[in-house]
Amino acid sequence: MKKKFKYTYYSPSAEDTLRVGEIIGKKAQAGDVILLSGDLGTGKTWLTKGIAKGLEVPPEYPVTSPTFTFVHEYPGRLLLYHLDLYRLEEDVDWSVLGLEEYLFNEGVTVIEWAERLPVFFHPSYFLKIFISFANAGRKIEFVTNVEHFKTIVYHLRPVYKQR
């Protein structure tokens, strides 16, 4: 198992969160699983919009939270699967959801409320992102054991300095 890497970033605006997502989407490779956690309204869907942009999902496919189903699929440089576990019942039968299909595939999977994922579904290679309210913006914490995601930090720093 690769060593874990951690980094904390402060995002001052919604536009910046979008740009962070875009950098992640550009870096993403087939089979990547991105686990998003954070309170209601912290910006998980917003970050996913950015990831979609980075994956070249055409603008005519706007990214919205999956509500009536727990997954949305978007075409891009790679297929993007956007899952939201928020509305699943506490006693949901994980075995019938077919989650494996989204955790082990050749696309990129983004999961909101990923902390609800049962341990037996935890992917061995991941990018975990924890978003929280911080002043007028957001604190975005990255934890990853995927080599290509470690470099996001170098792409984030200059963005932060410009402000």
Which residues would be at the binding site for ligand ATP (CB under 6 A)? 11, 13-14, 16-17, 38, 40-46, 65, 112, 137-138
At residue 131, φ and ψ (nearest 5 deg) are -110, 135
Q: Could you tell which of Mg ion, ligand ATP, none binds residue 144, using a CB distance below 5 to 8 A set by kind?
A: none
> Is 45 an interacting residue with respect to Mg ion (CB under 5 A)?
yes
**Helices 152-161 and 14-27: angle between axes, nearest 10 degrees:** 150
The least CB distance from residue 95 to ligand ATP, in Å, is 25
The least CB distance from residue 40 to ligand ATP, in Å, is 4
Q: Could you tell which of Mg ion, ligand ATP, none binds residue 1, using a CB distance below 5 to 8 A set by kind?
A: none
> Is 132 an interacting residue with respect to Mg ion (CB under 5 A)?
no
Q: Could you tell which of ligand ATP, Mg ion, none binds residue 64, using a CB distance below 5 to 8 A set by kind?
A: none
Helix H segments across the chain?
14-27, 44-54, 94-97, 100-103, 147-150, 152-161
Q: CA-to-CA distance for 152 and 148, rounded, in angstroms? A: 8
CB 91 within 8 Å of CB 13: no
> Considering beta carbons, is residue 73 or 115 the nearer one to ligand ATP?
115
* Residues between 61 and 120 that touch Mg ion (CB under 5 A): 65
Q: CA-to-CA distance for 70 and 110, rounded, in angstroms? A: 12
> Considering beta carbons, is residue 71 or 145 the nearer one to ligand ATP?
71
CB 146 within 8 Å of CB 127: yes
Give the residues lining the site for Mg ion (CB under 5 A): 44-45, 65
